[in-house]
């Protein structure tokens, strides 16, 4: 079951690369108060007062921290969400551990989230007590770059790096002239979603975007109309969910970064840290913050100036939840370079995308960015 959820959830945060011209301007829908976890799920005792999407992300954080699947704690599948409410020893222990973690942070760190599930478990269901001598004398693998950085005194200013990126893509004038486009391509997900699936992406400046993945179980759709974001996917506890808080902020950021010419206004508090080493290559680490507090790191190739990776963090009750996008195969479209391949990795799944067709400045009805319809499974072949 977890692999199914992983494949579906991974599609929710896909990086937008498409832009389209809208025919008929529709007023964006107004965001509504978040749908809370206890309003949808039964028997929620500790993780109350958070949104459904944040609750699902927290479940993914548990899975990553302990190396467990959903069925290790729940005797149910995603076709029967009521079964997840049943209590058992592992669920009760998880509740105890969450309260313990919260107490440690409140008592010893002034409420700051310094200790998380991953701090002790590191992918194991039981924290290690005894040091491993092979780790001590065999050397340690390089760690990930710092989550939060400050401007390094010997690093270039953010505008220098961002201007080089804009120039590498084709220059500000060409980027401004590319008002819209549509994309068709394919996606390969995780686990049972590992078969190749058709993908459509449409987006309009400055930040509207809709992504549709045609799965065997029905369409998985993410849409953002400039103010409101929605996520619709098969076998979800809420078939069509309005995104709020940092999930909404992430959707807005994805839409804005689909138009690289406006990258400087997509984030605030820009800073350039010390170089980061990823896959053995030195990259320029630039970081900014959304108005809602989402931290996003952008890693640029210092030689080409192109964006290699985007890594953003959303907060949860049990630690930061990362979303990572790795880009490759840049090609020119209407005088602008775009990545034709990218891999989206999140706490709940991974998807790899490849573009097969791009239509710059195409027209699309404004209704394409509205609240998507509930997914319907295709009829089986006769």
Q: What is the pLDDT of residues 251-289, one digit of tens each?
A: 998 888 888 899 999 999 999 999 998 888 999 999 999
Q: Torsion over CA of 78, 80, 85 and 91, rounded to 10 degrees? A: -40
Return d(Cα 311, Cα 5) in angstroms, integer: 21
- Other C-beta atoms closer than 10 Å to the C-beta of 282 total 13
- DSSP class of residue 79 equals T
Say yes or no: 62 and 178 in one domain: no
The answer as to whether 204 is a domain residue is yes
pLDDT value of position 320:
87
- Structural domain of 82: 37-138
The answer as to whether 228 is a domain residue is yes
β-pair type (336-346, 208-215): unpaired
Say yes or no: 132 and 174 in one domain: no
The residue from 138, 167, 187 where one domain ends is 138
Q: Torsion over CA of 77, 319, 327 and 265, rounded to 10 degrees? A: 120
The answer as to whether 287 is a domain residue is yes
pLDDT value of position 8:
36
Say yes or no: 314 and 176 in one domain: yes
Residue 298's nearest CA partner among 203, 164, 162, 207 is: 162
- DSSP class of residue 370 equals S
Say yes or no: 101 and 41 in one domain: yes
The answer as to whether 179 is a domain residue is yes
Tell me, rounded to whole angstroms, the distance of Cα 308 from its chain centroid.
16
Say yes or no: 246 and 305 in one domain: yes
The residue from 122, 138, 154 where one domain ends is 138
Strand partners, 343: 326, 352
The answer as to whether 1 is a domain residue is no
Say yes or no: 100 and 150 in one domain: no
Say yes or no: 89 and 198 in one domain: no
Domain count, the chain: 2
Residue 224's nearest CA partner among 50, 378, 368, 75 is: 368
Return d(Cα 99, Cα 111) in angstroms, integer: 13
CATH number at residue 77: 1.10.468.10
Return d(Cα 103, Cα 101) in angstroms, integer: 5
Give the 3-state secondary structure percentages of the chain, helix then strand then coil, rounded to 5: 30, 30, 40
The residue from 94, 121, 138 where one domain ends is 138
Distances (CA, A) of 96 to 102, 178, 260: 10, 54, 46
β-pair type (349-360, 180-188): antiparallel
For the chain, residues with pLDDT lower than 50 are 1-22
> Is residue 224 a contact partner of residue 369, using CB atoms and an 8 Å limit?
yes
Strand partners, 209: 203, 224
The answer as to whether 301 is a domain residue is yes
Say yes or no: 121 and 189 in one domain: no
The answer as to whether 349 is a domain residue is yes
Say yes or no: 153 and 106 in one domain: no
pLDDT value of position 124:
84
For 100-135, the pLDDT digits (tens) are 988 998 899 898 888 888 888 888 888 877 676 666
CATH number at residue 232: 2.50.20.10
Distances (CA, A) of 312 to 92, 249, 295: 31, 11, 6
pLDDT value of position 9:
37
Return d(Cα 30, Cα 52) in angstroms, integer: 19
Strand partners, 296: 288, 312
Angle between helices 52-66 and 2-12 (to 10 degrees): 130
The answer as to whether 376 is a domain residue is no
Say yes or no: 203 and 129 in one domain: no
Say yes or no: 44 and 150 in one domain: no
pTM across the whole model: 0.82
For 324-340, the pLDDT digits (tens) are 999 999 999 999 999 99
Residues 6 or more apart whose CB falls under 8 angstroms from that of 172 comprise 166, 261
pLDDT value of position 328:
94
Say yes or no: 118 and 148 in one domain: no
């Amino acid at each position: 079951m977890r692999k199914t959820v992983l494949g579906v959830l991974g599609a929710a945060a896909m990086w937008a690369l498409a832009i389209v011209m809208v025919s008929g301007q529709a007023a964006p829908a107004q965001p509504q108060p978040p749908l809370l976890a206890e309003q949808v799920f039964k028997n929620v005792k500790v993780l109350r007062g958070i949104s459904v999407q944040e609750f699902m992300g927290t479940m993914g954080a548990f899975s990553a921290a302990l190396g467990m699947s959903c069925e290790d704690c729940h005797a149910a599948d995603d076709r029967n969400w009521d079964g997840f409410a049943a209590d058992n020893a592992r669920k009760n222990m998880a509740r105890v551990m969450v309260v313990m973690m919260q107490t440690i942070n409140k008592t010893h760190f002034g409420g700051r989230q310094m200790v998380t599930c991953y701090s002790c478990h590191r992918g194991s269901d039981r924290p290690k007590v005894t040091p491993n001598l092979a780790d001590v004398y065999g050397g340690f693998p390089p760690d990930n770059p710092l989550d939060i950085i400050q401007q390094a005194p010997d690093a270039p200013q953010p505008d220098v790096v961002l201007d080089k990126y804009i120039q590498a893509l084709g220059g500000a004038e060409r980027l401004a002239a590319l008002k819209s486009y549509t994309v068709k391509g394919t996606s390969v997900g995780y686990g049972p979603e590992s078969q190749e699936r058709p993908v459509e992406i449409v987006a309009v400046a400055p930040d509207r975007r809709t992504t549709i993945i045609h799965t065997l179980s029905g369409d998985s759709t993410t849409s953002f109309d400039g103010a409101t974001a929605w996520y619709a996917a098969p076998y979800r506890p809420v078939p069509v969910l309005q995104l709020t808080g940092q999930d909404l902020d992430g959707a807005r950021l994805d839409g804005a970064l689909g138009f690289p010419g406006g990258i400087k206004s997509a984030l605030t508090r820009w800073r350039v840290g010390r170089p980061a080493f990823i896959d053995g290559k030195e990259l320029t680490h630039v970081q900014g913050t959304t108005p809602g507090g989402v931290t996003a790191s952008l890693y640029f190739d210092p030689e080409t100036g192109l964006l290699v990776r985007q890594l953003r963090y959303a907060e949860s009750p049990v630690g930061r939840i990362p979303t990572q996008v790795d880009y490759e195969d840049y090609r020119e479209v209407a005088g602008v370079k775009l990545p034709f391949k990218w891999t989206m990795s999140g706490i709940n799944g991974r998807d790899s995308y490849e573009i097969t067709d791009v239509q710059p400045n195409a027209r699309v009805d404004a209704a394409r960015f509205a609240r998507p319809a509930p997914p319907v499974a295709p009829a089986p072949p006769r």
